[in-house]
Copies of this chain bind each other. A is one copy, B any other.
């Protein structure tokens, strides 16, 4: 869920950067600009955030943290919370302690190095260096591959009795002369989402994003401001689209939109380069089905999800 799609200044329609990834019980927030707690309250609620990842230490990407922590405190949160970010995040959080005060839950501030990753159940979240004016990360979220589908009917027809023997087959044992690969399909890739953070066009990111279901890439500017994008360490919509094309992702979602743009002009510029481009509004959501169940779909605020064909 896109909780904030503005660039460094909010607008009436777009809040400061924040992206919420929901997967099973996991609620991972990537970046937390000023006002993020309210953006969450206005949409999905904030009760169960599990981890926060900050892409870089520019203020518009983290100033929502102290207020969010204070609100968790006032709500008597008891589960621990981890905030991950580039080196320096620990010092920033220390300096903000006077703002959020003593917390009633455990806060773990984790400084990541590029290339390092964090595991949450069957999800791995890795940090990659991107190209901004300060040290900045993109984040790659990849699920573990899921085992192939077990064909119970076929196994039974080959003479395996339903029950414990099915379990043995699924764990890789040969049972009654039937080998697992006869009744279990090929391993399926897990889903993959890549978030650029703030960056100029970046080859490392394109490589890391290869084959992703969704690439969330900044597009602060349009082609009219290509020079300014270069000078400020940002990307144009068309440049983001080129990264998406190079990385052969399934869908590109543009975010971090400068307040000077309405949005649709950037989407059109990007679509000339990469057709499967979306430009979400605040509170829009991308639904990413398991890999063999179809393409990601954009769900607009207030619209029911489209029925899948």
Contact = CB atoms under 8 A, between A and B. Distances in A.
A42 B12 contact: yes
Interface in A61-86: 63-64, 66-67, 70-71, 74-75
Contact of A59 (B11, B15, B67): B67
Contacts of A59: 66-67, 70, 99-101
A31 to B, nearest CB: 14
A152 B16 CA distance: 57
A29 to B, nearest CB: 16
A289 to B, nearest CB: 29
Given A34-B34, A64-B34, A41 B11 contact: yes
A38 interface: yes
A8 interface: yes
B67 A34 contact: yes
A293 interface: no
Interface of A: 8-12, 15-16, 34-35, 37-38, 41-42, 59-60, 63-64, 66-67, 70-71, 74-75, 95, 98-101
Nearest to A98: B95
A67 B75 contact: no
Contacts of A9: 71, 74-75
A32 to B, nearest CB: 11
A10 B43 CA distance: 13
B67 A38 contact: no
Contacts of A100: 59
Contacts of A75: 9
Contacts of A63: 34, 66-67, 99
A62 to B, nearest CB: 9
Most chain B CB inside 10 Å of its own CB: which residue of A16, A34, A42: A34
Given A8-B70, A12-B42, 15 more contacts: A9-B75, A10-B38, A10-B41, A11-B41, A12-B38, A12-B41, A34-B38, A34-B64, A34-B67, A35-B35, A59-B100, A60-B70, A63-B66, A63-B99, A95-B98
